[in-house]
Amino acid sequence: MDRELTLLGIETSCDETAAAVVRRPPSGPGVVLSSQVLSQLEDHAPYGGVVPELAARAHVLHLDRLVEAAMAEAGVTFSDLDGVAATAGPGLIGGLLVGLTTAKAISWTHGLPLLAVNHLEGHALTPRLTDGVAFAYLLFLASGGHTQLLSVEAPDKYVRLGTTIDDALGEAFDKVAKLLALGYPGGPLVEQAASVGSAERFSLPRPLIGDSSCNFSFSGLKTAVRRMAQSLEPVTETDVADICASFQAAVMEVVADRCGRAMELFRQSHPNADATLVVAGGVAANKALAGVLHQVADAAGFKLIVPPQWLCTDNAAMIAWVGAERLALGQACALNASARARWPLDSASEPVLGSGKAGAKV
């Protein structure tokens, strides 16, 4: 479908309620006409994590208003749209049902194609929205629930090169923050503490460095941090900063090594492709991570693309974009499309033995 497409996107997979309108030209990057995101951070902070029922209730309360705001901001009506896309998984099933049901109602009422979108594909295809990146490219996807390295070859073709065999990277940051009583969400707080700490004070493990696979493991590193903190009790503010700095330094070395290995494999399988490494997902907002990956990519002759921070965290613009990419291929969904708590990008890959929720098929 070689024509301009305008789509409404809806995102309700976790604790952000979001709606956006995106325009996809026949070629090149897209245009975000509007983006509305309502964070539930304050609602969940007292619990130290996301409470699924609270999240679903908030989506019910606010989604219609956000859709209306996104349409008004974009200056479009439903008759101007070519389709409506909503996250159908993976995520919290209650929230997914709210967003997908809303999209189905809009689709049926206005006669618009429905696109049930994989949330992870939203992150994976964001660099095509922002930079018009051509296929194929290497993706480092790092979030609270997922840490993977994938070859992105088409809107419907992903080849997993590596995954976490236990904790996801964002999950490891959050758990370290929790055991050090830093608060929630943990990633930014660990990064902030690390910025004033000494990374040389504590020796922590670097799991799987040098391994021939592209897999990750963060559970042992997290355990080492806990034992270190317990050995220092009572832990001082300086101790916390130094632990965070040492933890983050270990993480950066692991990520650099694993991404370096993935770049080698990507070059072997795609000798004629542009050498591009994309970082996506909430952890991509970590400035230290971006700095390390710039160095690694430069050394390997890869171009590094890190989307703007607001497109790294959960948003509906990336969902609308995936919907547009798939609609351009004629891949609209039936109105009986189902929400899925688990939904892998690379459905052909087997789960990694010993993996936790993030390393298994999700």
Note down pLDDT in tens along the chain; length 362 residues.
Answer: 578 999 999 999 988 899 999 999 999 999 999 999 998 767 767 767 777 778 888 899 999 999 999 999 999 999 999 999 999 999 999 999 999 999 999 999 999 999 999 999 999 999 999 999 999 999 999 987 889 999 999 998 999 999 999 999 988 999 999 999 998 878 899 999 999 999 999 999 999 999 999 999 999 999 999 999 999 999 999 999 999 999 999 999 999 999 999 999 999 999 999 999 999 988 888 888 889 999 999 999 999 999 998 998 899 999 999 999 999 999 999 999 999 999 888 877 766 654 434 333 33
Q: What is the full DSSP assignment across 240-291?
A: HHHHHHHHHHHHHHHHHHHHHHHHHHHHHH-TTS--EEEEESGGGG-HHHHH
Tell me whether strands 83-89 and 114-118 are parallel, antiparallel or unpaired.
Answer: parallel
Cα distances (angstroms) measured from residue 84 to each of 25, 100, 120: 16, 10, 18
- The torsion angles phi and psi of 18, rounded to 5 degrees, stand at -145, 150
Q: pLDDT value at position 156?
A: 82
Q: Record the pTM.
A: 0.90
Question: DSSP class of residue 78?
Answer: G
Cα dihedral sign, 242-244-247-248? negative
CB-based burial of residue 47 (10 Å sphere; 0-12 exposed, 13-18 middle, 19+ buried)?
exposed
CB-based burial of residue 206 (10 Å sphere; 0-12 exposed, 13-18 middle, 19+ buried)?
middle
SS3 162: strand
At the second CATH level, the architecture of 5-131+311-328 is 2-Layer Sandwich (3.30)
Contact by Cβ (8 Å): 340, 90: yes
Contact by Cβ (8 Å): 167, 219: yes
CATH 3.30.420.40 domain position(s) in the chain: 5-131+311-328, 137-309
Which class is domain 137-309?
alpha beta
Contact by Cβ (8 Å): 295, 117: no
Q: pLDDT value at position 47?
A: 67
Please give the structure tokens belonging to residue 134. Answer: 């051509």
